Amino acid sequence: MGNKRIVATAPIEAIAIDILEQIAPVEISPNMDEETLLGMVEDTIAFVSRGMGPVTGRMIAGAGELKVIGRPGAGVDTVDVAAASERKIPVVYAPVSGFAVAEGALAILMALVKRIPQCDEILKGGRWKERYGFKTGDMAGHTLGIVGFGRIGSLLAKLVQPFEMTVLVFDPYLPCKGAGDFGVEFVEFDELLARSDYVSLHVPLNDETHGLIDRDRIASMKKSAILINLARGDVIESLDVLADALECGQLAAVGLDVFPGEPPDVSHRIFKNPHCLCAPHVLGASELAMERNFRSMATDMVAILQGRPPKFCVNPEVLA
């Protein structure tokens, strides 16, 4: 396609490059700020929004040759979908790796419930005798609240079926029917927070969910609950409200794979709290998950560039 190019906001997997370079060379932006990316819009026929790298309205307006935008995952909050739709540019995404996020949520939850970081510290610190006064927690006999029951939330419910748990679900966009298929109980949000020992967040970031978990809602939770967030950082009001809740004992532990502003400022006091277990937004980035994400996204981008319909498109109305 002549001098045309495909621009990625951050490094992408080799499988995606191999597929996309059937059409045009792939260039990786040296950083993810908008000004740098605006300098790369000329002759760009496709953008790949990787990580927190944005595809903004200004970028879309400036890229006169733009034909498609790709996102290697289910979340599209880094893409100005409205601006893309206005120019009738398809935005493809890859909702094919929810299993890895669900597994990650279960892993971080069990690590907190079983107090694995503390166990490791006690042993490696040569404090063997502390085991006689040390107790871990249980999954059995406890209640898990899942906020958001899409692909990831429903997979998490399946993963915990072997445990003797009560599973509560809140999702205002789903009917309560079919709950028996997952062994869950659909409840209102306030009831879920009040009854759950453990709460795991699996909602998209939008105007309704921004700051969904705030100081008041944390205060309404069962005392010494555990809160897990693998959705988006801004679903929680701030790190301050989490730190305060840990320090006063309202929350027993917090598990975070996402943060309001990434990378987060690790000088924040929450990162010194032993009851906060973190990961750098990688728990959904397993080897198999990333291969599936990038293959799906790149294949759909090529389909559009070759005039064929994609499998997954956020704004399919622009294809008509």
Decide: 258 and 281 in contact? Cβ < 8 Å.
yes
- Of the candidates 15, 2, 262, 228, the one whose C-alpha atom is nearest the C-alpha of residue 107 is 228
Q: Which of 121, 247, 262, 269 is catalytic?
A: 262
- For residue 232, indicate whether it is catalytic: yes
- Whether the ω angle into residue 90 lies within 30 degrees of 0, i.e. cis, is no
pLDDT score of 132 more than 90:
yes
* Domains of the chain (ranges, CATH numbers): 5-96+287-319 (3.40.50.720), 98-278 (3.40.50.720)
pLDDT computed for residue 53 by the predictor: 86
Q: Which of 202, 232, 275, 295 is catalytic?
A: 232
How many other CB atoms are found less than 10 A from the CB of residue 119?
A: 15
Record the pTM: 0.87
Q: Using one digit for the tens of pLDDT, what is the confidence trace for 196-220? A: 999 999 999 899 999 999 999 999 9
CA-CA distance, 40 to 27, in Å (whole number)? Answer: 9
- For residue 58, indicate whether it is catalytic: no
Six token digits for residue 286: 């397993």
pLDDT computed for residue 147 by the predictor: 98
Q: Using one digit for the tens of pLDDT, what is the confidence trace for 214-273? A: 999 999 999 999 999 999 999 999 999 999 999 999 999 999 999 998 899 999 999 999
- For residue 185, indicate whether it is catalytic: no
5 - beta bridge partners? 44
Residue 176: alpha-carbon gap to chain centroid? 24
pLDDT computed for residue 48 by the predictor: 98
CA-CA distance, 255 to 275, in Å (whole number)? Answer: 8
Q: Which of 115, 281, 292, 295 is catalytic?
A: 281
> Please, where are the H alpha helices in the chain?
14-20, 34-38, 57-62, 81-86, 98-113, 116-124, 151-159, 189-195, 215-219, 239-248, 287-305
